[in-house]
Amino acid sequence: MEPIGYVKRLVSVTITSREISPGSDSAGGAFAEVYCRMYRSLVLLAYATTASVPEAEDIAQDACVQLCRAFDRIRMPEAWARRAVISLSTSWVRRRERERMLFAQPTALPAALLPEDGVIVWNALTSLSVRQRQAILLRYEADLSEREIATILGCRPGTVKSLLSRALDTLRKEMEDYA
Amino acid sequence: MLEGAEARIAVSLREIRAGLPLAHDGDPGAREAYARAQRPHSRSSPRRRWSGALLASVLVGLGASGVAVAAVVSHAGSDPVHDFFWGVPQKGPHGGRLAVQPSEEPHVLVATVTLPDAQHASVYVSAAHEPAVCLLVQNTLGDGSVGQGTCGDGPQDNSAAVWPMSGVLVGAVPDTTISRVRVTLGGQNLELAVVDRYFAFAPPDNASASTLVGQGQIVGYDSSGNRIGTWAFSLPYSGRS
């Protein structure tokens, strides 16, 4: 091809990128505050089921999108979001089962990401059932009461007590073994 | 007050939480979730809608030549750049991973594909013409060129051309110093970023890229705004220039 003449100098590149700020209204600002406070916690909760940080992050983001849409109508957004993560994680597992690609246990997080004692604790967590892992995370990472955990997991407080008790027994033994 | 094993678990879990490598953390992540929530039909993440096509293209190239090759994927969305950030990072069916970072250009993202055999390829993402997002995946392992045959029927030499691929139009210019082009086609003037000789854009007026007929013009500029050259092109693309 041959040059075909002079054309006016390019001044700027025009690409439309819509900026939406959650802080632009009061509901959005409140949502952003909740998001920033609990997003990592939601990812970790999802990770306990998915064993994949990207998948866990997808689930946490989807939960936050749902939360944002219903934010004005929700009385306890944090509990609502955790419940959404549990629900979305369960759906994810079912999809994976259908695809015969289920991860039976969470794989190890990269060692570089883990604190020194975290390696032992996380490896011990992989010996628990998904339900036990979720209960442990809600209790010790999110610092929730048994009643709050029961609301999120959709079971009775007595069931949570039993889940935590058995999980702790297993964890104590596993952590001793790893140590 | 927690003690013993319970305290140890609590401390470790909070440290793990703090160290998670997340793509959507903090205010940017909140803005993204907020933006998605405003779209009534955004029921699943954009990543799930089209990542398969991208990774399939990358992997097909791997199978054919042993190295990563080129692919262009179009994605219709009202907020393409934000949509694409949602795809960070992702894992392909054969273990390849994709991570995306913003570049200095507001509309260009640079991504890295990590392939199962520890090879890498660069992925250039251009929000070329809303509502389309076009991706150029370029091999950086071999000779640095986009793999032959992987950009459809694009030129095999360093010539200027525009050709259809995967529902969008892909363009090439012959000079690596060109960082911007103005493309005139069908009454539209598009100003696009160029990454390593390549750019991509959606057909005007929602036309089909594969059946589009017309004549256009590419004007290339360097990063200082100096005009490097002007080239004409015709569609349908008829092969090597």
Mean pLDDT of A96-104: 47
Q: A155: burial class by Cβ within 10 Å (0-12, 13-18, 19+)? A: middle
Check pLDDT > 90 for residue A145: yes
Mean pLDDT of A47-61: 82
**What local confidence, expressed as pLDDT, does residue B70 receive?**
27
**What local confidence, expressed as pLDDT, does residue B66 receive?**
26
Helix A53-69, helix A26-50: angle, nearest 10: 150
Q: How far off is chain A from B73, nearest CA to CA, in Å?
A: 18
Euclidean distance between CA atoms A64 and A34, whole angstroms: 9
- Contact by Cβ (8 Å): B137, B124: yes
**What local confidence, expressed as pLDDT, does residue B125 receive?**
39
Say which of B6, B161, B191 has its CB closest to residue A14: B191
Question: The tokens of B53 are what?
Answer: 């096509």
Q: How far is CA A73 from CA A22, A29, A108, A162, B43, in A?
A: 17, 15, 38, 33, 20
- Contact by Cβ (8 Å): B190, B183: yes
Matching residue, tokens 């939960």: A63
pLDDT below 70 — which residues of chain B? 1-2, 23, 36, 38-158, 165-168, 193, 195-196, 200, 202, 205-206, 239-241
Instruction: Say how many CA atoms lie within 13 Å of A101 toward its Cβ.
Output: 9
Task: Give B-chain residues touching A20 at CB under 8 angstroms.
Answer: 31, 34-35, 38, 79
Q: What share of chain B is helix, strand, coil (3-state, %, to 5)?
A: 25, 35, 45
H-run or E-run covering B138: strand B132-138
- Supply the mean pLDDT for chain A: 75
Mean pLDDT of A144-168: 94
Judge: A115–B10 Cβ closer than 8 Å, yes or no. Answer: no
**What local confidence, expressed as pLDDT, does residue B60 receive?**
24
Q: How far off is chain A from B39, nearest CA to CA, in Å?
A: 10
Euclidean distance between CA atoms A29 and B114, whole angstroms: 37
Check pLDDT > 60 for residue A82: yes
Chain A residue nearest residue B99, CA to CA: A54
Check pLDDT > 70 for residue A18: no
Tell me the Cα Rg of chain A: 22
pLDDT tens for each residue of B184-202: 887 778 777 676 577 767 6
Sequence-separated (6 or more) residues with CB below 8 Å from residue A116: none
Q: What is the pTM of this model?
A: 0.47
Interchain CB contact of B49 with A (< 8 Å): no
pLDDT tens for each residue of B153-171: 445 566 788 877 655 677 7
Interchain CB contact of B157 with A (< 8 Å): no
Specify the long-range contacts of residues A163-168, CB closer than 8 Å, at least 24 apart.
A163/A131, A163/A132, A163/A135, A164/A132, A164/A135, A164/A136, A164/A139, A166/A132, A167/A128, A167/A132, A167/A133, A167/A135, A167/A136, A168/A136, A168/B5, A168/B6
**What local confidence, expressed as pLDDT, does residue B38 receive?**
67
Interchain CB contact of B35 with A (< 8 Å): yes
CA A74 centroid distance within chain: 19
- Supply the mean pLDDT for chain B: 57
Euclidean distance between CA atoms B215 and A63, whole angstroms: 48
Task: Give B-chain residues touching A106 at CB under 8 angstroms.
Answer: none
Sequence-separated (6 or more) residues with CB below 8 Å from residue A131: A153, A163
Task: Characterize A70-101 residue by residue with b for buried, 16 or more Cβ atoms within 10 angstroms of its Cβ, and e for exposed.
Answer: ebeeeeebbbbbbbbbbebbeebeeebeeeee
Euclidean distance between CA atoms B190 and B204, whole angstroms: 10
